[in-house]
Amino acid sequence: MEKKREYYDVAIIGGGAAGLTAAIYCGRARLKTILFEKALTGGLATYTSEIENYPGFPEGISGINLMKLFEKQAKKFGVDFKLTAIKEACLGAPEKVISTFRADYVAKAVIVASGGKPRLTGALGEEAFLYDKGISFCATCDAAYYTGKSIMVVGSGDAAIEEAMFLTKFAKRVQISVIHDKGIVDANEVAKEQAFANPKLEFIWNTVVHEFKGQDRLNQVVLKNIKTEERIPVDVDGCFLFIGYLPDTEIFKGKVNMDSRGYIVTNETMETNLPGVFAVGDVRVKGLRQVATAVGDGAIGGVAAERYLAESAYFEQKIMGEQQPTLVYCWNPIDPACRSIMAEVEKLKEKYKEQIKVVTVDMYKAASLAERLNIRQAPSFALVKDRAICCTVTECSCVDSVEQEIKKVI
């Protein structure tokens, strides 16, 4: 039985803060947009009991309520939601195909916002206490909840040590389970010195988590000494895991450029190495992973996708789609040389108006459009005929050589 196919302008993979923001921007731009989310719309933020550092909410707001507002706004702009897992993603140009088990969704642009997932310890009982039941992954998000309480931090890297110090501003006691020998942590020297000098931090050396215990919420972490095998029960009100994150990029491996950890590499406009494919939020290489930064990524990615589609339409219709040969002048309005040549271009346009069409591309605003013609500097010309680039002329000071090429094709 053949799968049904549905067509969209933009497909967004992942419904966390970044994906929802991108959806809002794309929907508001009147692009036909679909968002895929395999779990809970809102992503990891929905498991945060209270977010106090997101602008506009001075009293704080729960992660799930904030994400409900994001979702409501995206739906207001007509975004379609598909709560299902992605089976395959074919990201080649010009059409990209997102496959689920029941249907194929064809899109002109794709925004990957699949996020990351915290690395877990694998200890007994862990699954029962994840997120809002005692195990957390974001000190900035959840620290206030543990004011005056006892907390355990698991990890010894920069994130673990720095977040543990932040937690001491709220908790009455912070204990850190470190797998290394006494005095050895993986954090930078400054953080290390500050942590050892902090009277509210207590290190439990040579230990890993053996088991998490509790009823409705976590109330005890059982550690194991890796040298003596001794079990060490520690009563806590909560536990923070800072042992790394894993990007959710498995289905994109071998398709888009990634770093050694599996995070997607983008430029400042969220573009990947593939035309029309963008990545936003926790899934990409970046320095800070928070709701606020995810929103910024999503906004940039949504606008970039809109611009890509507009440029693609212009390229196909005005440059490659003409019946007659097309002369494309790529120029920069702030460059005096480009402005002087424009007058000669106008003369060519008038002289050969019955035989060619002349199109100008402003490289100051749309450099990527010129790059589709293999042009990266201005002033330059490209001559297109029968959907193929006949020739390009670069570093030109006059249009004489360009006119010679025009005569050849007409």
Q: Which residues contact 80 (CB under 8 A, 6 or more apart)?
A: 8, 33, 34, 35
CB 363 within 8 A of CB 330: yes
Q: Stretch 317-335: mean pLDDT, rounded?
A: 91
**pLDDT at residue 57 greater than cutoff 70:** yes
Interaxial angle between packed helices 17-28 and 63-76, expressed in degrees from 0 to 180 and rounded to the nearest 10: 20
C-alpha–C-alpha distance, residues 318 and 189, integer Å: 58
Q: Which residues contact 273 (CB under 8 A, 6 or more apart)?
A: 256, 257, 265
Residue type at position 135: I
Residue with tokens 């929905």: 46
pLDDT per position as a tens digit, 161-201 = 988 999 999 999 999 999 999 999 998 899 899 999 999 99
35 φ, ψ to 5°?
A: -120, 130
Q: Say what the pLDDT of residue 250 is.
A: 92
Q: Stretch 363-390: mean pLDDT, rounded?
A: 91
Q: Say what the pLDDT of residue 289 is.
A: 87
C-alpha–C-alpha distance, residues 370 and 360, integer Å: 10
Domains and CATH numbers, the chain: 4-117+245-315 (3.50.50.60), 120-241 (3.50.50.60), 322-409 (3.40.30.10)
State the virtual CA torsion across 271, 273, 276, 282 in degrees, nearest 10: -50
Q: Say what the pLDDT of residue 49 is.
A: 63
Q: Are strands 277-279 and 150-154 parallel, antiparallel or unpaired?
A: unpaired
pLDDT per position as a tens digit, 380-403 = 999 999 899 988 988 777 788 899
Interaxial angle between packed helices 189-196 and 158-167, expressed in degrees from 0 to 180 and rounded to the nearest 10: 40
> What DSSP state is assigned to residue 226?
T
Q: Say what the pLDDT of residue 1 is.
A: 60
pLDDT per position as a tens digit, 212-253 = 999 999 999 999 999 999 999 999 999 999 998 889 999 999
pLDDT per position as a tens digit, 285-312 = 998 888 999 999 999 999 999 999 999 9
Q: Stretch 33-49: mean pLDDT, rounded?
A: 86
Q: Say what the pLDDT of residue 137 is.
A: 87
353 φ, ψ to 5°?
A: -60, -25
pLDDT per position as a tens digit, 328-350 = 999 999 999 899 999 999 999 99
Q: Which of 75, 72, 66 is CA-nearest to residue 44?
A: 66
* 114 alpha carbon, distance to own chain's centre: 8
**pLDDT at residue 138 greater than cutoff 90:** no
- Where does the pLDDT of residue 62 fall: very low under 50, low under 70, confident under 90, or very high at 90 and above? confident
C-alpha–C-alpha distance, residues 329 and 150, integer Å: 67
pLDDT above 70 covers a percentage of the chain that reads: 99
Residue type at position 276: G
Q: Which residues contact 233 (CB under 8 A, 6 or more apart)?
A: 213, 220, 221, 222, 223
Is the whole model's pTM more than 0.85, yes or no?
no
- Where does the pLDDT of residue 14 fall: very low under 50, low under 70, confident under 90, or very high at 90 and above? very high
The pLDDT mean for the chain works out to 93
Q: Stretch 206-213: mean pLDDT, rounded?
A: 97
Reduce the DSSP state of residue 398 to 3 states and report it.
coil
